[in-house]
Amino acid sequence: MSHSDFEELLAVLDLKRVDDNLFIGTHPSKNPIRTFGGQMIAQAFVAGGRSLEHKQQPSALNAHFIAGGDPEQDLEFHIVRLRDEKRFANRRVDVMQDGQLLTTVMLSYMNGGRGLEHSVAAPDVAHPDTLPKIDELLRGYEETVPLFVEALRPIEWRYTNDPAWVMRDKGERLDHNRVWLKTEGAMPDDPVLHGAALVYSSDTTVLDSIITTHGLSWGFDRIFAVTMNHSVWFHRPIKFDEWVLYSTTSPVAAESRGLGTGHFFDEAGQLLATVVQEGIVKYFPASR
């Protein structure tokens, strides 16, 4: 099943090029009610990368979600070329469906070369080979978090801490979430696809720390959450068919909005990418 899901991810990232500035993207066979945001921005990342005149490295992605997509219909990725130089490039990718703008994504590219280097340290966590697979952590919770059980899973997950639903069942709280990730199969030797897999995965678990900080969980508690905007900064080349650690926290929640921040580290502890996501998060306590 996992390998099939992985092949579906590769298929949705293999956009159809209509012309220099228009790509068409499909959906996988298993979808939520609305198009998964991580899928849309990963496809937009591919569209932007395929439109480059030169081979620059991605430096930043900034996405604003405007409307939900229909998984029964294809997506259009319209490229706006803002800058094309040998060292720098900028793109805007508008994701559309039936003439409606769903998401707009700004992409920056830069060939930087050597310079000063420092970064935050990777947290000290158990090696992924010693940790249970996500299927084991979902066992017994099929009726609590059915959307997670039934979701497309092209990425292998190994939590270093209890996921939200297990933590909630134990009556505990957690102000961070840390999970090892890698694709379920070998990726093509294509930096654009490795970056897209990271972008796809960056839209998972990043808001979890908002609710686990309060001892809550999807499935157990009445929570409404929707992503408003999402940003990724790329620091180093990415190999996403090798283990990477996604370490996330939430610095603030206020006015029915919450911020999730995350860092991707490779197994050597190098910081690969930084993520910030803002979402509307509402909790409706059960009436007593």
Considering the domain boundaries, does residue 35 fall inside one? yes
Across the chain, what does the average pLDDT equal?
95
The single residue listed with the structure tokens 């102000």 is 175
Q: Given pLDDT bands bounded at 50, 70 and 90, which one contains residue 288?
A: low
- Rounded Cα–Cα distance for residues 162 and 276 (Å): 22
CA dihedral 185, 190, 195, 198 (to 10 degrees): 0
Q: Is the pLDDT of residue 190 over 80?
A: yes
- What is the secondary structure of 153-185 as a DSSP string? --EEEEESS--HHHHHHTT---SEEEEEEEESS
pLDDT at residue number 1: 43
pLDDT at residue number 3: 58
pLDDT at residue number 23: 98
Q: How confident is the model over 92-138, as pLDDT tens digits?
A: 999 999 999 999 999 999 998 889 999 999 999 999 999 999 999 99
Q: How confident is the model over 260-270, as pLDDT tens digits?
A: 999 999 999 99
Q: How confident is the model over 24-54, as pLDDT tens digits?
A: 999 999 999 999 999 999 999 999 999 999 9
Considering the domain boundaries, does residue 99 fall inside one? yes
Q: Given pLDDT bands bounded at 50, 70 and 90, which one contains residue 225?
A: very high
pLDDT at residue number 266: 98
- Rounded Cα–Cα distance for residues 279 and 259 (Å): 7
pLDDT at residue number 2: 47
pLDDT at residue number 112: 85
Considering the domain boundaries, does residue 117 fall inside one? no
Considering the domain boundaries, does residue 257 fall inside one? yes
Considering the domain boundaries, does residue 272 fall inside one? yes
SS3 label, residue 202: helix
- Rounded Cα–Cα distance for residues 91 and 105 (Å): 8
Considering the domain boundaries, does residue 120 fall inside one? no
What mean pLDDT is predicted for residues 233-246?
97
Number of domains in the chain: 1
Are 202 and 232 in contact, with CB atoms under 8 Å apart? yes
pLDDT at residue number 120: 96
What residue numbers bound the domain in which 270 lies? 2-112+126-283
CATH number reported for the structural domain that contains residue 214 in this entry: 2.40.160.210
